[in-house]
């Protein structure tokens, strides 16, 4: 008795719940549905045709305004200028100097009051040629380090460029997939509304129960919510891509849906070969080690002597002329003023309380650390290469599987609708077929995006293929 009473109570509750839901859905079906209005950036006053953007166009546009990428390009240009400046410091310098030395006379000594002069008026006009031969100069350590720094900056710029390509690809196809999902959600909403109309007509003809109408109404409400969410996701994806492409926020553009034209995935042997030649991560680690090597060479070179040579050519005379009388010895008459003198010197480090040796130890420690980091980078790069290739392989297979599932879902929905109209299937089967068709279409778009992003991520290590 107790069990029978419990069953009756549950049945009564279900009947009441269906009655309340029927009343609510009936009222909702009669009331007009308000479409969700999304707030969008204001466009230009005069309507213009939207700009059609391909993936390559999107990448080119992003390279013109992306701050991180442009910063890396600027660093590479500055590194090039640093190399040129370092090279120029190794070359001889030439300068010109002109002086006038006026000395107060004393009436007795022709040279005036100061022993450094040989007359009251002295004119100097020299061309100075100087060459400093420090260990850094004749070993070329600074220049080689500047070359390594330039190469490192270029590799970092390449990494930034490839990273930007991945980001743009992800956002570009994210918008493409969002548009597909929006279209699929709209189709699902239309199908749900059409199914609701069919059930209502069948109910009025006494062919179906009211529970089918309730189920169809619930499905229509859910599909309306899914449609609104798809519109929001599409708008968000468009804004995210617009930030990357345009210097001023502009949504007046359209993208080309070429998800079905992805390039094929090369074999892993080919991928390894391309990665060995075009991997900027590995080259950057090697250039970092090269910088450390040059620091050690510079620290060792500091123990070597430094040389300097300077030649001055011109005049230093009491008159600004090629020939004149020397005030200190006027009896000689006019003599030539034009001539030269050379100064050469050598500096040998003798004692510095161990500072140079300490700097050498620091440089050697930094080189050892760079070697360890290079070894770790090689392992990580190889592991990341395997991961990226495996991801691309799985994504490629997932595309084929999702395509077949999408085709089967659409066909299943068509057949179930025909069976329902013939009275051979239930409303629950129709709703389930609608949900399955929508889900398979969405999954197909997601797998295509996954494959394109996986290819772009793999090309971070290999370059374009």
Q: Which CATH architecture has domain 95-137+305-348?
A: Single Sheet (2.20)
**pLDDT tens digits along 73-130:** 999 999 999 999 999 999 999 999 998 888 776 666 565 555 566 777 888 899 999 9
Q: Which residues contact 151 (CB under 8 A, 6 or more apart)?
A: 283, 287, 290
Q: Which fold has domain 56-90+140-303+354-465?
A: Outer membrane efflux proteins (OEP) (1.20.1600)
Q: What integer pLDDT is reported at residue 114 of this predicted model?
A: 52
Q: How many CA atoms lie within 13 A of 337 on its CB side?
A: 20
* φ, ψ of residue 303 in degrees (nearest 5): -80, -10
Q: Which helix (H) or strand (E) holds 359?
A: helix 355-421
Low-confidence residues of the chain: pLDDT under 70: 1-37, 39-40, 42-47, 105-117
Cα 8 from Cα 25, distance rounded (Å) = 26
Q: What integer pLDDT is reported at residue 3 of this predicted model?
A: 43
Q: What is the pTM of this model?
A: 0.79
**pLDDT tens digits along 386-396:** 999 999 999 99
Q: What integer pLDDT is reported at residue 263 of this predicted model?
A: 82
Q: What integer pLDDT is reported at residue 12 of this predicted model?
A: 41
* φ, ψ of residue 132 in degrees (nearest 5): -95, 125
Q: What integer pLDDT is reported at residue 375 of this predicted model?
A: 94
Q: What integer pLDDT is reported at residue 24 of this predicted model?
A: 41
Q: What integer pLDDT is reported at residue 14 of this predicted model?
A: 37
From residue 25, give the alpha-carbon distance in Å to each of 69, 89, 279: 55, 85, 61
| Residue spans per domain, the chain | 56-90+140-303+354-465, 95-137+305-348
Inter-residue contact 293 to 367 (CB < 8 Å): yes
Cα 46 from Cα 68, distance rounded (Å) = 34
Q: What count of other Cβ atoms lies within 10 Å of the Cβ of residue 444? A: 24
Q: What integer pLDDT is reported at residue 181 of this predicted model?
A: 93
Strands 51-53 vs 253-255: parallel, antiparallel or unpaired: parallel
């Amino acid at each position: 008795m107790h069990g029978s009473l419990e069953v009756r109570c549950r049945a009564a509750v279900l009947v009441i719940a269906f009655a309340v839901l029927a009343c609510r859905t009936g009222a909702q079906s009669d009331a007009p549905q308000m479409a969700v209005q999304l707030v969008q950036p204001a466009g230009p006053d005069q309507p213009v045709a939207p700009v059609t953007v391909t993936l390559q166009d999107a990448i080119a546009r992003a390279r013109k305004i992306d701050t991180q990428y442009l910063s890396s390009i600027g660093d590479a240009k500055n590194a090039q200028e640093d190399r040129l400046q370092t090279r120029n410091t190794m070359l001889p310098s030439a300068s010109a100097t002109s002086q006038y030395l006026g000395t107060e006379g004393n009436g007795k000594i022709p040279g005036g009051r100061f022993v450094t002069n040989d007359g009251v008026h002295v004119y100097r006009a020299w061309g100075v040629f100087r060459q400093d031969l420090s260990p850094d100069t004749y070993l070329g350590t600074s220049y080689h380090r500047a070359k390594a720094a330039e190469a490192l900056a270029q590799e970092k710029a390449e990494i930034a460029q490839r990273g930007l390509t991945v980001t743009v690809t992800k956002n570009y196809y994210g918008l493409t997939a969002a548009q597909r999902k929006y279209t699929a959600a709209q189709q699902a909403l239309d199908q749900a509304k059409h199914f609701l109309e069919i059930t209502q007509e069948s109910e009025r003809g006494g062919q179906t129960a009211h529970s089918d109408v309730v189920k169809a109404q619930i499905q229509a409400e859910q599909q309306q919510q899914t449609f609104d969410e798809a519109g929001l996701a599409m708008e968000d994806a468009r804004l995210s891509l617009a930030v990357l492409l345009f210097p001023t926020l502009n949504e007046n553009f359209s993208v080309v849906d070429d998800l079905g034209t992805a390039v094929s995935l090369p074999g892993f042997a080919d991928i390894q070969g391309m990665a060995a030649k075009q991997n900027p991560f590995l080259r950057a680690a090697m250039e970092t080690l090269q910088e450390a090597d040059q620091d050690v060479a510079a620290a060792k070179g500091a123990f070597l002597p430094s040389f300097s040579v300077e030649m001055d050519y011109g005049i230093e005379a009491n008159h600004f002329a090629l020939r004149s009388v020397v005030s200190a010895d006027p009896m000689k008459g006019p003599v030539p003023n034009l001539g030269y003198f050379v100064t050469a010197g050598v500096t040998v480090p003798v004692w510095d309380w161990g500072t140079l040796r300490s700097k050498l130890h620091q440089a050697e420690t930094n080189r050892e650390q760079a070697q360890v980091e290079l070894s770790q980078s090689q392992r990580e790069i190889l592991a990341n290469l395997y991961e990226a290739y495996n991801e691309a392989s799985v994504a490629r297979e997932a595309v084929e599987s999702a395509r077949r599932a999408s085709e089967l879902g659409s066909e299943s929905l068509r057949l179930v609708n025909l069976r329902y109209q013939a009275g051979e299937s239930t409303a629950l089967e129709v709703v389930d077929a609608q949900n399955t068709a929508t889900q398979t279409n969405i999954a197909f778009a997601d797998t295509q995006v996954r494959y394109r992003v996986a290819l772009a991520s793999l090309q971070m290590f290999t370059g374009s293929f």
